[in-house]
Structure 1
Amino acid sequence: MSLLDVKNVKKIYTTRFGGTQVQALTDVSFSVEPREFVAIMGESGSGKTTLLNILASLDKPTSGKVCLKGRDLSTVKDKEIAAFRRQNLGFVFQDFNLLDTFSLKDNIFLPLVLAGRKYPEMEKKLMPIAEELGITELLAKFPYEVSGGQKQRAAVARALITNPQLVLADEPTGALDSKASDELLRLFGNINKNGQTILMVTHSVKAASHASRVLFIKDGTVFHQIYKGNMRNEEMYEKISDTLTVIMTGGGKNA
């Protein structure tokens, strides 16, 4: 059984003034299996962010369906949606979304605090994650005291601490230098190998080359996909670059 099923999702926005309709997603269908690492790519305006917001249950499709582990997200009641996100989804953002008045530890604990968990349980969950991500000695520091890469590792820890069904990453390397990006992608690879399912939206060919599959969105629909299989990251990089060139030059689907 697929972990995530997206079926014929369409999204139409009506502008605030004038009532003009904008079709952000036309007909998006795909599935994500447990333990997959999937990247979503496409030009600006292709519908990537809209799709991510729908997958995160921050927005609802105009038509179509999104199911997480067989549950249709449209059936989750508004009063339950925040708890549903905490229990099932982890989020990693480009700009970290850490609270400057909280230490890294308190930022990481936040989803568990909101879920009403006890402190000893939170400590027990935190330490193996912090050790894996290399931030154990940074936990007492505040976001303004650490580097961008260290902030993002804390954000990843916050995403993982609830043991989510799916981690959604929105341009996770976008605010990082090349060294910090490489380290984050290495960590994502390890986390995925340990069984965590990841879906990442990115403009970065390098980031996408670490995924096991890449979906390309064009004109609000899935244009093409590449399975990594036994390809090395360098080979995957070339394959992705070639596909993006085809998309930007208006060509058809390539094999």
Structure 2
Amino acid sequence: MPLLEVEHLQKIYTTRFGATQVQALKDVNFTIEKGEYVAIMGESGSGKTTLLNILAALDRPTGGVVRLSGKDITQIKEGRMAQFRREHMGFVFQDFNLLDTFSLRDNIFLPLVLSRRGYNEMAARLDMLAPKLGIADILNKFPYEVSGGQKQRAAVARALITDPDILLADEPTGALDSKATAQLLDLFGHVNRDGQTILMVTHSIRAASCAQRVLFIKDGLVFHQLYRGERTDDEMYAKIGDTLTMLTTGGAAHA
């Protein structure tokens, strides 16, 4: 059974007073296996952000099914949704979403605190995680005292400390310089090789070229999929660029 199953997903937004309906997602279908590293790409307005919000259980679809580990998240009651997200999903955002009044350590602990885990368990998890992410020596610092790359690695630690079924990343390199971007993508590669499933929405061809598979969204549909196979990152970069050109010019894409 796939880890994530998306079937006939639709999302229609109705404007104020119901004057106009906008179909953001028409009929989206795909699956992700446990341990996969998948990127989602598409032009602005293609529906990829709407898709991520639904997969993250931050928005409800108009129709269709989203199953994570066999559970249809579209049917989870609102009162239980936050707990389900904490227990099964990790999130990495473009703008880090760290609390400036908390140290990096306390930011990372936050989802476990909300789950009422004991300090010893939280500390033990972080002791294993922090050296892998290169943040062991800055845990007592506050977000405003560290670089963007260090903030993002702390955000990754916060996402991973709950041992989530899937890591959802929304433009994770968007606020980083080229050096920090390379470090973060290398980090994603390492955690994926350790078995972590990753789904990343990105505009960056460089970021997407590190994934095992790229889904291209256009007009609310999965327009094309590109599999890495034996391609190098540079070969993936070129192939993704070609496919994006096809999306914008209306040509046919090829695997």
Query: Where on the TM-score scale, by shorter chain, does this alignment land: which range?
Result: over 0.9
Alignment of 1:134-173 (within 5 A): 134-173=134-173
Task: Look up the match of 1:102.
Answer: 102
Greater alpha carbon shift after TM alignment, 68-77 vs 134-143: 68-77
- Residues 125-176 of structure 1 show CA distances to partners (whole Å, capped at 9, x for unaligned) of 0111111000000000000000000000000000000000000000000000
Distance in 1 between residues matched to 2:121 and 2:84, nearest whole Å:
20
Task: Look up the match of 1:130.
Answer: 130
- Read off the aligned partner of 1:142 and give its amino acid letter: F
Partner-residue secondary structure (3-state), 1:159: helix
Distance in 2 between residues matched to 1:5 and 1:74, nearest whole Å:
12
Partner-residue secondary structure (3-state), 1:207: helix
CA-CA distance at 1:254 after TM superposition: 2.2
- Read off the aligned partner of 1:23 and give its amino acid letter: Q
Partner-residue secondary structure (3-state), 1:243: helix
Distance in 2 between residues matched to 1:171 and 1:17, nearest whole Å:
32
Task: Look up the match of 2:200.
Answer: 200
Task: Look up the match of 1:115.
Answer: 115
Task: Look up the match of 1:57.
Answer: 57
- Read off the aligned partner of 1:250 and give its amino acid letter: G
Distance in 2 between residues matched to 1:72 and 1:35, nearest whole Å:
20
- What fraction of aligned residue pairs are identical, expressed as a percent? 68
Rate the CA distance shift 1:7–1:18 in 2: closer, same or farther, 3 A. Answer: closer
Partner-residue secondary structure (3-state), 1:137: coil
CA-CA distance at 1:77 after TM superposition: 1.3
CA-CA distance at 1:57 after TM superposition: 0.5
Distance in 2 between residues matched to 1:15 and 1:118, nearest whole Å:
46
Is 1:81 the counterpart of 2:91? The answer is no
- Residues 47-66 of structure 1 show CA distances to partners (whole Å, capped at 9, x for unaligned) of 00000000000111101100
Task: Look up the match of 2:13.
Answer: 13
Is 1:213 the counterpart of 2:213? The answer is yes
Task: Look up the match of 2:23.
Answer: 23
Task: Look up the match of 1:42.
Answer: 42
- Read off the aligned partner of 1:181 and give its amino acid letter: T
Distance in 1 between residues matched to 2:42 and 2:140, nearest whole Å:
39
Is 1:227 the counterpart of 2:227? The answer is yes
Count of equivalent residues? 255
Where has structure 1 moved over 3 Å in runs of 4 or more? none
Distance in 2 between residues matched to 1:229 and 1:180, nearest whole Å:
27
Partner-residue secondary structure (3-state), 2:247: helix
- Read off the aligned partner of 2:4 and give its amino acid letter: L
CA RMSD between the two structures: 0.7
- Read off the aligned partner of 1:229 and give its amino acid letter: G
CA-CA distance at 1:218 after TM superposition: 0.3
- Residues 159-197 of structure 1 show CA distances to partners (whole Å, capped at 9, x for unaligned) of 000000000000000000000000000000000000000
- Read off the aligned partner of 2:186 and give its amino acid letter: R
Distance in 2 between residues matched to 1:196 and 1:57, nearest whole Å:
19
Distance in 2 between residues matched to 1:17 and 1:132, nearest whole Å:
51
Distance in 2 between residues matched to 1:248 and 1:75, nearest whole Å:
36
